[in-house]
């Protein structure tokens, strides 16, 4: 599913699977002036997103990429010149899952909160600036609501930065997260752990059998007292 979102010049696209589409629909509900279209082929050149963003008159682009029906990645780009940040989206919960009592308004504005690390590390400074541009809070906007309380409505998710590229969906790598571990590697490690668990269980059973053979229990003299 390919979705366009024009919110202060932001374009959103997605090739998500069914479960990820629920998250995408939640995002579309939280952001005004959005519409959806056909699904974007992941094998196609991502430069197509820049072309669509230009046609829509957008200067920012978000692309949600689903892999293996379970892994979700988010590309956040400044179109058409860049830069681009690639995130791995984890711990995702949709509005339907959370069932929170809050009620949002399409005219309400986003609230962005950053800790001190976003002012100290260069790649986090870049991410902070890009998020501020994608989710701006214009002063004295007509649709802005006054005297509104902050209530969580969802969805929830964690964005783990993977790489920062100089261009829009391409270009040289400006930042590479050395601590990032791909979902494939995590699943392979869990599989190896499960295999080792079974082999450890077999070895433990063999050792127990050998121990009982080498250390037989002494015969109890009272074992036959009540036998005829």
Q: CB of 12 within 8 A of CB of 23?
A: no
In the chain, how many domains are there?
2
What is the band of 26 on the pLDDT scale with cuts at 50, 70, 90?
confident
Same domain, residue pair 12 and 94:
yes
Percent of the chain exceeding pLDDT 70 equals 72
Dihedral over alpha carbons 117, 178, 86, 167 (to 10 degrees): 100
Ramachandran area for residue 154 (φ above 0: left; ψ -120 to 50: alpha; else beta): left
Same domain, residue pair 176 and 188:
no
Same domain, residue pair 119 and 200:
no
Same domain, residue pair 162 and 188:
no
What is the band of 6 on the pLDDT scale with cuts at 50, 70, 90?
very low
Owning domain of residue 190: 181-216
Same domain, residue pair 138 and 176:
yes
223 assigned to some structural domain: no
Nearest-CA neighbor of 33 among 151, 141, 148?
Answer: 141
What is the band of 88 on the pLDDT scale with cuts at 50, 70, 90?
very high
Phi/psi of residue 174, nearest 5 degrees: -90, -30
Same domain, residue pair 93 and 165:
yes
Q: Looking at residue 124, what is its pLDDT?
A: 92
Q: Looking at residue 2, what is its pLDDT?
A: 37
Same domain, residue pair 70 and 150:
yes
Same domain, residue pair 197 and 103:
no
75, two tokens: 């590309």
Same domain, residue pair 72 and 35:
yes
Same domain, residue pair 145 and 195:
no
Q: CB of 168 within 8 A of CB of 79?
A: yes
Q: Is 118 helix (H, G, I), strand (E, B) or coil?
A: helix
Same domain, residue pair 136 and 205:
no
The model's pLDDT over 122-181, given as tens digits with 9 standing for 90+, comes to 999 999 998 888 777 666 666 566 666 667 777 788 899 999 999 888 889 999 999 998
Q: Looking at residue 9, what is its pLDDT?
A: 46
């Amino acid at each position: 599913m390919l979705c366009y979102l024009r919110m202060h010049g932001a374009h959103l696209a997605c090739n998500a699977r069914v479960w990820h589409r629920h998250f995408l629909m939640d995002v579309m509900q939280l952001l005004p002036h959005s519409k959806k279209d056909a699904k974007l082929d992941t094998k196609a050149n991502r430069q197509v997103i820049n072309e669509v963003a230009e046609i829509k008159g957008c200067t920012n682009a978000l692309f949600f990429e689903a892999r293996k029906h379970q892994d979700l990645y988010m590309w956040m780009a400044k179109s058409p010149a860049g830069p681009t940040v690639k995130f791995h989206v984890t711990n995702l919960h949709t509005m339907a899952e959370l069932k929170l009592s809050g009620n949002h308004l399409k005219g309400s504005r986003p609230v962005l909160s950053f800790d001190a690390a976003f002012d100290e590390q260069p790649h986090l400074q870049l991410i902070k600036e890009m998020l501020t541009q994608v989710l701006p809070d214009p002063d004295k906007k007509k649709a802005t609501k006054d005297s509104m309380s902050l209530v969580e409505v969802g969805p929830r998710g964690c964005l783990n930065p993977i790489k920062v590229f100089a261009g829009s969906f391409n270009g040289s790598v400006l930042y590479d997260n050395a601590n990032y571990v791909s979902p494939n590697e995590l699943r392979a490690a869990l599989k190896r752990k499960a295999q080792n668990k079974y082999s450890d269980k077999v070895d433990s059973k063999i050792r127990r059998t050998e121990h009982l053979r080498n250390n037989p229990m002494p015969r109890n003299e009272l074992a036959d007292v009540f036998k005829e």
